């Protein structure tokens, strides 16, 4: 259904967005003086510092730890590297880092050059890094131009064998069968690791690790499939957890095409320190935006542990805030894929109508967003036949309300990570609905004053009320008080807080 079908008041929409903007600006004010160890490691990775030592500890971690020990971290890696390279002009960034780690160059008593020449060197380094990202962006654009266009809604499936070699085979199969986006699920605990593992991996729980080498391996396999079917198959991973900035950098370098990125999710469901991840997210979104990689957010999770009918408004609240946070990181609307889900109790009378109402509300509030719509999961059982029927209803709502990126439901959702044939059956179902209902959204109007319109307006009203409350106390306080999913997260607690540091007067930002 086209924009404007729900009879929303334009001024209310504008009002909601400006409240969210004020909330987000306040967050940015609170984090602007800080950086994190992971951001510094991300910048090093952009400057081609990579690899691990004999104990498989990444070089970037070793170097940042060293800076911390020498009390130099508050100056940031760009400042230190630039000074080092001015002193040793024949070295590359990576060679300089190696020499420091081998104690061939002492940081203790390192000489600092005058501001102007340091700034000039920093600009050179940043330019070099940006060029690398932009090259990958252009590469993707060339593929998209040369192959046949994709059809909306786009199909997104997950692969989660826990072994990168099997992942690549199954990803290839999914791409061939019609999937547009393929996410390689990473190991459950990875979001809590404060380093990015190295190499091609064949283990992990519920998925295998996100590593630079794994990214490259699967991307190459999908390039092969894309060539065979003459359609560019997109690769997805997770820019979240303690290494959010580094993963964003690796995604940009290895030409990933979409990243799941949501600080709120990490705070609520992984107990990551709110400050840490908000700071990391700001940098990550800036990098992804540069790389032309859209993000998708994780609002679907907000209604998985609480009553999804009663608390659906929290999805809207989070989307409104996430949109503004992303805009402040210089993301354009077409890169901000806000998330939501089809998760109402299937026993709810008229549940389908309420799902339509909610999905249409999201569509109308964010007309330019590549909305990510998640399938039913929490009410699924081992009855795979009913599960398949639920996914059919989900697919109908997707097409009817013009969702953009649709994560396809799996008939074995309640049983195990998808088998190769489960993915095939999911794609068949979605293709059938997409084709059979092609123009349905243009044929039906929402009845003025009917159940659908009432539900959407009620959700939106509740969301605005909550936004106003959050504006009064600030987002961090709202998180402390359990505004989302009943989970309470204090601002100075949680994982990764020790990686947050205050930037001193010498610190030079990457974002210039």
Partner 1 sequence: MKRKENFIKPYGDLPNDGMVQISFSLPLPLSNLSREAAKAIAREMNIVDEVIVFEKDLYENFSFFIIYGKFNKSIDISKIIAKEERIEKHDFYEVLKFGENVLKNKIKIIAATIGTDAHTVGLDSIINAKGYKGDPGLERYPFFEILNLGAQIPHEFLISKIHEFKPNVVLISQTVTQRNIHLKNLTYLVELLEAENIRDKVLLICGGFRITKELAHELGYDMGFGSDTYPADVAYYIINEFINKNLVNKWR
Q: Is 238 considered catalytic here?
A: no
Q: Is the distance from CB of 288 to CB of 251 less than 8 angstroms?
A: yes
Residue among 123, 132, 216, 304 that touches partner 1 (CB under 8 A): 304
Q: Is the distance from CB of 348 to CB of 358 less than 8 angstroms?
A: no
- Strands (E) across 27-87 are located at 34-36
Residues 151-170, one symbol each (x = binds partner 1 by CB under 8 A, - = not), give ---------xxx------x-
CB of 476 to partner 1, least distance (A): 20
- Nearest-angstrom CA–CA distance, 392 and 375: 10
Token pair recorded at residue 360: 């249409």
Residues 379-418, one symbol each (x = binds partner 1 by CB under 8 A, - = not), give --xx-------------------------------xxxx-
CB of 56 to partner 1, least distance (A): 19
Q: Is the distance from CB of 182 to CB of 235 less than 8 angstroms?
A: yes
Q: Is 66 considered catalytic here?
A: no
For residue 483, list its beta bridge partners.
Answer: none
Smaller CB separation from partner 1, 15 or 202 = 202
Residue among 37, 187, 281, 318 that touches partner 1 (CB under 8 A): 187
Smaller CB separation from partner 1, 150 or 487 = 487
Element (DSSP H or E) covering residue 122: helix 115-146
By the rule CB under 8 A, 176 interacts with partner 1: yes
Residue among 306, 386, 389, 396 that touches partner 1 (CB under 8 A): 306
For residue 406, list its beta bridge partners.
Answer: 155, 373
Residues 218-237, one symbol each (x = binds partner 1 by CB under 8 A, - = not), give -------x------------
- Nearest-angstrom CA–CA distance, 49 and 83: 17
Residue among 63, 269, 373, 476 that touches partner 1 (CB under 8 A): 269
For residue 238, list its beta bridge partners.
Answer: 260
Smaller CB separation from partner 1, 83 or 214 = 214
Residue count, binding to partner 1 (CB under 8 A): 35
* 43, 190, 235, 243, 245 from 238: Cα distances, Å: 18, 10, 11, 10, 11
Smaller CB separation from partner 1, 328 or 420 = 420
Smaller CB separation from partner 1, 211 or 308 = 308
> What burial letters (b/e) apply to 436-460, b meaning 16+ CB within 10 Å?
eeeeebeeeebeeeeebbebbbebb
* Nearest residue to 389 (alpha-carbon basis) of 354, 444, 342: 342
For residue 36, list its beta bridge partners.
Answer: 500
CB of 22 to partner 1, least distance (A): 32
CB of 77 to partner 1, least distance (A): 31
Catalytic pick among 195, 209, 217, 265: 265
Token pair recorded at residue 320: 């409104």
- Nearest-angstrom CA–CA distance, 340 and 406: 10
What is the distance between the terminal CA atoms of the chain, rounded to a whole angstrom?
41
By the rule CB under 8 A, 378 interacts with partner 1: yes
> Residue 486 — left, alpha, or beta (φ > 0 → left; ψ -120 to 50 → alpha)?
left
Catalytic pick among 98, 300, 391, 422: 300
By the rule CB under 8 A, 285 interacts with partner 1: no
By the rule CB under 8 A, 482 interacts with partner 1: no
Smaller CB separation from partner 1, 70 or 166 = 166
By the rule CB under 8 A, 17 interacts with partner 1: no
Residue among 75, 234, 270, 327 that touches partner 1 (CB under 8 A): 270
Q: Is the distance from CB of 299 to CB of 448 less than 8 angstroms?
A: no
Residues 6 or more apart from 147 whose CB is under 8 A from it? Answer: 226, 230, 231, 232
By the rule CB under 8 A, 137 interacts with partner 1: no
By the rule CB under 8 A, 34 interacts with partner 1: no
Q: Is 132 considered catalytic here?
A: no
Q: Are strands 154-159 and 181-184 parallel, antiparallel or unpaired?
A: parallel
Just list the catalytic residues: 265, 300, 372
Residues of the shown chain interacting with partner 1 in the complex, contacts defined by CB under 8 A: 160-162, 169, 172-173, 175-177, 187-189, 192, 205-206, 225, 269-271, 304-307, 378, 381-382, 414-417, 419-421, 424, 486
């Amino acid at each position: 259904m086209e924009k404007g079908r729900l009879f929303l008041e334009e001024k209310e929409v504008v009002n909601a967005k400006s409240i969210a903007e004020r909330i987000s600006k306040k967050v940015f004010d609170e984090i602007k003086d800080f950086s994190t160890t992971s951001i510094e490691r991300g910048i090093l990775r952009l400057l081609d510092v990579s690899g691990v030592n004999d104990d498989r500890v990444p070089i970037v971690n070793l170097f940042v730890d060293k800076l911390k020990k020498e009390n130099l971290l508050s100056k940031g890696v760009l400042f230190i590297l630039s000074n080092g390279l001015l002193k040793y002009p024949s070295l590359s960034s990576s060679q300089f880092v190696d020499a420091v780690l081998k104690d061939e160059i002492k940081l203790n008593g390192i000489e600092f050059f005058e501001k102007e020449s340091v700034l000039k060197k920093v600009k050179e380094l940043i330019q070099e890094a940006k060029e690398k990202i932009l090259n990958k962006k252009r590469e993707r654009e060339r593929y998209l131009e040369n192959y046949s266009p994709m059809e909306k809604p786009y199909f997104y499936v997950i692969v989660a064998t826990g072994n990168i070699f099997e992942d690549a085979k199954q990803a290839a199969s999914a791409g061939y069968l019609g999937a547009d986006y393929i996410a390689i699920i990473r190991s459950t605990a990875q979001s809590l690791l404060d380093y990015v593992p190295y190499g091609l991996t064949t283990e992990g729980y519920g998925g295998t690790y996100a590593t630079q080498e794994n990214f490259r391996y699967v991307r190459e396999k999908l390039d092969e499939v894309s060539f065979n079917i003459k359609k560019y198959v997109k690769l997805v991973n997770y820019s979240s957890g303690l290494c959010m900035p580094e993963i964003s950098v690796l995604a940009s370098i290895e030409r990933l095409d979409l990243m799941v990125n949501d600080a709120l999710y990490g705070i609520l469901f992984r107990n990551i320190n709110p400050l840490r991840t908000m700071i990391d997210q700001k940098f990550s979104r800036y990098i992804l935006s540069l790389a032309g990689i859209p993000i998708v957010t994780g609002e679907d999770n907000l209604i998985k542990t609480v009553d999804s009918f009663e608390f659906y408004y929290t999805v809207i609240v989070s989307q409104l805030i996430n949109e503004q946070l992303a805009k402040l990181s210089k993301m354009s609307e077409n890169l901000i894929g806000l998330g939501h889900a089809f998760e109402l109790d299937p026993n709810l009378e008229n549940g389908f109508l309420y799902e339509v109402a909610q999905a249409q509300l999201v569509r109308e509030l964010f007309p330019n967003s590549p909305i990510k719509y998640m399938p039913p999961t929490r009410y699924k059982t081992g009855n795979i036949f009913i599960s398949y029927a639920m996914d059919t209803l989900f697919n109908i709502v997707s097409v009817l309300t013009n969702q953009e990126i649709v994560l396809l439901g799996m008939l074995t959702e309640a049983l195990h990570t998808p088998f190769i044939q489960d993915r095939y059956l999911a794609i068949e179902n979605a293709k059938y609905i997409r084709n059979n209902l092609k123009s349905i959204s243009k044929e039906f109007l929402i009845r003025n004053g009917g159940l659908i319109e009432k539900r959407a307006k009620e959700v939106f009203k509740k969301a605005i009320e909550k936004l106003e409350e959050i504006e009064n106390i600030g987002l961090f306080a709202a998180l402390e008080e359990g505004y989302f999913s009943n989970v309470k997260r204090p601002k100075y607690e949680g994982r990764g807080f020790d990686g947050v540091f205050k930037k001193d007067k010498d610190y030079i930002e990457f974002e210039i």
